[in-house]
Amino acid sequence: MSSVPERSEVDPADKWDLESIYASDDDWEAAYEAVEDRIEDLESYEGRAVEDAETLLDALACHEEVMREVAMVASYARMRSDEDTTDQRYQALSARAQSLAAEAQSTGSYLEPEIQSLTREEFEAMCEVEPNLETYDHYVDDVLRMKPHTRSAEVEALLADLGEVTGATGDVYSMLSDADMTFPDVEDSDGEAVELTQSNFTTLLKRPDREFRRRVHETYFDEWGDVRNTVASAYKNSVKSDVKLARARNYDTARAAALDGPNVPVSVYDTLVETVNDNLGALHRHAELKRDALELDELRMWDLYMPLTGDEGPDLSYEEATDHVVEAVAPLGEEYQSRVAEGLDSRWVDVYENEGKRSGAYSGGTYDTQPFILMNYQDDVSSMYTLAHELGHSMHSELASESQPYVYSGYEIFVAEVASTVNEALLTNHLLSTVEDEAFRRHVVNEFLERVRSTLFRQTLFAEFEHETHRLEEEGEALTADRLDELYGDLKGRYYEPAAVDDRIAREWMRIPHFYRAFYVYQYSTGIVAALAIADGIEEDGEARAADYREFLRSGSREYPLELLRIAGVDMDSAEPIERAIGSYEDRIADLESLLDA
């Protein structure tokens, strides 16, 4: 029987270095109290923030200082909580930090409405008096752009104060899925009991024993079936919250509200969905190849994650994975590569799964800290790719924070998923150019295909699902568990037409935490499209395109997302990059067909 260790049993060298933020919880408490007091300073500018240029600059500086300190307090508490979601002490710290962040946001919510009382000409006149305000030119442009959807200072304060409540459904879902849900063991072909968890579910679906995969699939989704009404209620209310908040800000739809934040046209979303649907034949070809390679009469849902090579992939230790990733990013320049290596040696990464640890992976940290990466490394090719992915996020944050003032150091999710997926594409190129072992090469091509399948096609399916759920809510239709199953099952059947869709897979929507951050997932799809175009450009043109890409990373949020991608040489206003990415996918399918024939 497999065993997941307790947090205390994990080697400190394999844990992230949160002590670099606060040496102890007592230091965190001191920082919490200090920033709590600073919030009063922020409040002192309310009603007079734009009375003159000097006051506006001071108000903006105070707002930044408070938010930077709050971010550190909140980041530490959240990551401590994610180490073990059953640890009530850190759950309490995280809850307090969320309340503090909500208080700070509520207190500072007057700032943008007051800036919106200015005209563009009035702000430019202030810049002549106080030149340091010019730093905020793009920020003010963005604030003024949102004026039709910004309410009075009083209403903005109320909406900010309600942030904890409107986001509560996501917290409920997280506690249910990560802390409270457990799964029965599944017996393997040797009669051994195998532990099933949120983190290892898809890994177990890669086992060669098809009957074992079926039992894993059924056991996992049967447990979700037992909580389907609870999850449906949580998701229904999350969608309601999205719709009501959009209406409160004078948007026609929740989708329009979500995409207007980063200034991405709704047409980009529609072009993605339409282009992917026009090219589902590529996905169907992949599914048919999988059916034939695995010698199956019928492809079932528990076969989708099985490698096309028909056996388990190579075991890759974490150390081997880090070596491959560091070598793979060499085309991005010596400085980029050395920074990645240094980060891996400096405990950026919390490597392995432990009891109660949050599932999945993410890159975190703040403007004033090093990056931090949560992993649940499983000694396989997929985990190596996940590491490369999260390091892309971390390096994006590092370069943007170094090059930009705090106001532009963040970046929209629309561009964030580009950096992560460029690393994945470079890893594929590196492995195929250096690895001679044919079995390993087959697994690399398979991993590329699975990444495109699960990112471009699967996330677009998700995007269709949440667009439809929000549309139904906006039209007054009840989002029951049965309706959600029906909607998701229909989409799954269309996308995976060559496979048999069972009742259990119709519940898959229940296991997707990203749905509690509305209209987020489509950006994985656009991200991989842009990333493949960038990686191809670097492969073709070398350092010139790599330099453009590094400039894109360093730009943070100084421009709007589509303009930033143009720096890197990609135009996401058109279907061309999507069609090109699908073409690359089909080329790799052909490569694998040849490798399998050989």
Ranges of each domain in the chain: 7-166
Q: What is the pLDDT of residue 150?
A: 82
CA separation for the pair 396, 554 (Å, rounded): 7
CA separation for the pair 554, 536 (Å, rounded): 20
Ordered mean pLDDT values, 10 residues apiece, the chain (598 residues): 82 96 97 95 95 98 97 97 94 95 93 94 97 97 92 80 82 89 93 91 91 97 95 95 94 96 96 97 95 93 86 84 97 96 96 92 96 94 93 97 96 92 94 90 88 95 98 96 97 96 96 93 95 93 94 97 96 94 94 85
Helix (H, G, I), strand (E, B) or coil at 349: strand
Catalytic residue flag (residue 390): yes
CA separation for the pair 236, 284 (Å, rounded): 31
Which residue out of 83, 112, 390, 473 is catalytically annotated?
390
At the top level of CATH, which class does the domain 7-166 belong to? mainly alpha
Q: What is the pLDDT of residue 162?
A: 80
CA separation for the pair 427, 421 (Å, rounded): 10
CA separation for the pair 297, 105 (Å, rounded): 57
Output the DSSP codes for 372-400: EEE----SSHHHHHHHHHHHHHHHHHHHH
Contacts with 257 (C-beta within 8 Å, 6 or more apart), sequence order: 149, 242, 245, 246, 249, 251
Output the DSSP codes for 148-197: GG---HHHHHHHHHTHHHHTHHHHHHHIIIIII-----EE-TTS-EE---
